[in-house]
């Protein structure tokens, strides 16, 4: 009789522990479910420096205030090949970005006040907090999916133009 009673308590304790761990697991999963979707706020055209021919035109989101420049593409789980985020700063200076809370690889393109590409940080690793600095002062920064700057054959000296909606 004692054996059955003991066994009953063990089963009840195990069942309660299982439910408890499921609750904890669900809490963790719900925290990870932050989703931010792309919102088109303009278009950006990349042009070859040597010929002024169009390389690519993409849809962009704009980051031009403290909140959007701090969060950037954090928490995104996807970014299409025809999408990017353009950071617009009030002045031109040395810039540095990092990939904290960024789940997708990015190419970070630094652009000066004349809208000319001055440097790149290619294939930035997701979730890496290492500083990714520009090599020259930049007023704009364009983030696109990692590897696309090579696919599109972008080079220092190529230019951008953009229109906001």
pLDDT digits (tens, 9 = 90+) for 50-83: 998 999 999 999 999 999 999 999 999 999 999 9
The pTM of this model reads 0.80
pLDDT of residue 25 exceeding 60, the answer is: no
pLDDT for position 32? 57
pLDDT of residue 92 exceeding 70, the answer is: yes
> Please, which residues have CB within 8 angstroms of residue 160's CB and are 6 or more apart in sequence?
44, 45, 46, 47, 111, 115, 117, 140, 142
Any idea what the Cα angle at residue 78 is, between residues 54 and 63, rounded to 5°?
A: 65
pLDDT for position 24? 44
* Mean per-residue pLDDT over the chain, rounded: 87
pLDDT of residue 5 exceeding 50, the answer is: no
pLDDT of residue 8 exceeding 60, the answer is: no
């Amino acid at each position: 009789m004692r054996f059955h009673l003991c066994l009953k308590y063990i089963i009840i304790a195990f069942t309660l522990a299982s439910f408890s761990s499921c609750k904890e697991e669900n809490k963790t999963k719900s925290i990870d479910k932050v989703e931010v979707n792309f919102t088109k706020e303009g278009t950006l055209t990349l042009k070859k420096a040597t010929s002024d021919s169009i390389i690519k035109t993409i849809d962009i989101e704009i980051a031009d205030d403290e909140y959007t420049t701090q969060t950037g593409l954090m928490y995104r789980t996807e970014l299409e090949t025809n999408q990017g985020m353009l950071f617009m700063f009030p002045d031109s200076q040395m810039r540095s970005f990092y990939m904290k809370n960024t789940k997708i690889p990015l190419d970070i393109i630094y652009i000066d006040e004349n809208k000319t590409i001055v440097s790149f940080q290619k294939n930035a690793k997701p979730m890496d907090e290492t500083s990714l600095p520009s090599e020259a002062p930049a007023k704009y920064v364009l983030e696109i999916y990692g590897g696309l700057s090579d696919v599109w054959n972008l080079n220092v000296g190529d230019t951008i133009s953009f229109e906001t909606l």
